[in-house]
Amino acid sequence: MKFYDTSNPYDSLVHYVNDLLGLASGDTTVYSLAAKARAANTSKYLLALMLMKASDAWSWDDNAQTDLPIATCPLEAGQRDYTLPAYAIGLERVEIKDSAGNYYRLNPMDETDRPGALTNYGESNGKPVNYWIKGRSLFIDPAPAAADVTLLAGLKIYFPREISEFNASTTTSEIGFDEPGDRAVALMVAEEFAGTHPGYDSQLDFIQLKLYGGVKNGKPVQGLLDLITNQEGSNKLKDMPPHIRIVVEDME
């Protein structure tokens, strides 16, 4: 599904949201494009966090991105502190390139694992073994010694990152999930409007039944969000739709 596709309104979030709310299919006045874009961004973050929480076997990434959420940078001999990318919203894995040019994985630590003063921890340079996070800084211990590592592109990190955001000028950009996820985002965008504007009670009831489930005609109905997160959390990586970008790495 695309955000605003006038050439194919049957696969356009804007048109689907309008239909859910009982608005004219192409309306951009009652519920403006800017407001829909803002609500879509919020909804994308919510769904992305749900999917990340649902499974520790794979990491969701917005398929509107044009590269993978992997970054490399040079190592500096004797330097322990490296700044994480501003768009990273977590950290999954840290690797160092050894003196032979092969990457190996560092072990995560937290402050309770480090005895004594932090200032003195890993004081001597050598081959890094551990890492920990403080704010937006990544610390590696011990600090790299030039003889034990490859400095060029010597640090590699894997991380979840921010979504690709929409704005009022967005047209045919993909929502960024698989088809069920795209439609869940559209329902959430419609829910935000119906829940904050009077006169949309019946639409809100219908939308929330679709999203969260409930009882219809005396029978329980499972919500789309539960179906998506349960399915994505239990599927094997090989069963994932091919256009969902995944990082095939263990998460910390």
Give the pLDDT confidence of 88-102 residue by residue, as tens digits: 888 889 999 999 999
Residue 79: pLDDT over 50: yes
Give the domain-ending residue among 93, 123, 158: 158
- The residue behind tokens 């996070």 is 133
Tokens of 110: 């937290």
61 Cβ contact list (under 8 Å, min separation 6) = 68, 69, 160, 161, 245, 246, 247
Residue 116: pLDDT over 70: no
In this structure, is residue 127 part of a structural domain? yes
Largest pairwise CA distance in the chain: 72
In this structure, is residue 179 part of a structural domain? yes
In this structure, is residue 2 part of a structural domain? no
Tokens of 172: 């045919």
- 135 with 184, same domain: the answer is no
Q: Are strands 245-246 and 60-61 parallel, antiparallel or unpaired?
A: antiparallel
- 171 with 59, same domain: the answer is yes
Q: How far is CA 142 from CA 12, 79, 97, 123, 145, in A?
A: 52, 9, 14, 7, 8
Give the domain-ending residue among 158, 193, 223: 158
- 100 with 141, same domain: the answer is yes
Percent pLDDT > 70 in the chain is: 85
pTM to 2 decimal places: 0.76
Structurally, the chain folds into a number of domains equal to 2
Residue 216: pLDDT over 60: yes
Tell me which residue range forms the domain holding 135: 70-158
pLDDT class of 56 with cuts at 50, 70, 90: low
- 81 with 116, same domain: the answer is yes
Residue 242: pLDDT over 50: no
pLDDT of residue 54: 76
In this structure, is residue 251 part of a structural domain? no
Residue 21: pLDDT over 50: yes
Among the ranges 31-35, 159-163, 172-176, which has the highest mean pLDDT value? Answer: 31-35
DSSP-assigned beta bridge partners for residue 221: 214
pLDDT class of 120 with cuts at 50, 70, 90: low
Give the separation between CA 198 and CA 178, rounded to whole angstroms. Answer: 32
- 172 with 59, same domain: the answer is yes
Tokens of 7: 């050439």
Rg of the chain (C-alpha set)? 23
- 50 with 75, same domain: the answer is no
- 182 with 125, same domain: the answer is no
CB-based contacts of 10-16 (< 8 A; 24+ apart in sequence): 13/40, 13/175, 13/182, 13/185, 13/186, 13/189, 16/183, 16/186, 16/190
Question: Between these two residues, 59 and 230, which has the higher pLDDT value?
Answer: 230
Average pLDDT over residues 92-121: 83
In this structure, is residue 124 part of a structural domain? yes
Give the separation between CA 27 and CA 98, rounded to whole angstroms. Answer: 58
Average pLDDT over residues 200-216: 93
- 114 with 140, same domain: the answer is yes
Give the domain-ending residue among 111, 134, 158: 158
pLDDT class of 57 with cuts at 50, 70, 90: low
In this structure, is residue 4 part of a structural domain? no
pLDDT class of 28 with cuts at 50, 70, 90: very high
Residue 236: pLDDT over 50: no
pLDDT of residue 247: 37
Give the separation between CA 230 and CA 226, rounded to whole angstroms. Answer: 6
pLDDT of residue 234: 43
- 169 with 148, same domain: the answer is no
pLDDT of residue 130: 93
Average pLDDT over residues 125-149: 93
In this structure, is residue 3 part of a structural domain? no
Q: For residue 142, which of 175, 186, 94, 106 has the smallest C-alpha distance?
A: 106
- 45 with 170, same domain: the answer is yes
Query: Residue 224: phi, psi to the nearest 5?
Result: -60, -40
Average pLDDT over residues 135-141: 91
- 173 with 240, same domain: the answer is yes
In this structure, is residue 85 part of a structural domain? yes
Tokens of 191: 């829910």
- 146 with 169, same domain: the answer is no
